Amino acid sequence: MQKATRKIHDTAPIWAQHGYRLERIQQAMGSPVRNVYGPDGALVLEDTDLETELEYLRDHGMLNATDTKGDSEM
């Protein structure tokens, strides 16, 4: 029997739950720049994407190993 996976589309609630702050900076063209700040205010991820955020969350025990990126599993 295979474990169920949870697809993650937005990491903002997970960051907030652990005291982190996600900053989105709009650009004239392209995707917004996403920066993540730790509970102490230090920048932990700069100009990141969803895949990198999920890896950081897993590596720091804030996400289960079975959680996946929402749009990659079709």
Q: Could you tell me the domains of the chain?
A: 7-66 (3.30.890)
E strands in 1-74: 7-8, 21-25, 33-37, 43-45, 68-69
Top mean pLDDT of 6-10, 34-38, 70-74 is at 34-38
- CA proximity to 59, closest of 49, 51, 47: 51
- Work out the average pLDDT over 9-25: 92
pTM (two decimals): 0.76
Give the distance from CA 6 to its chain's centroid: 14
Alpha carbon distance 30, 38 (integer Å): 25
Q: Is the pLDDT at 6 greater than 90, yes or no?
A: no
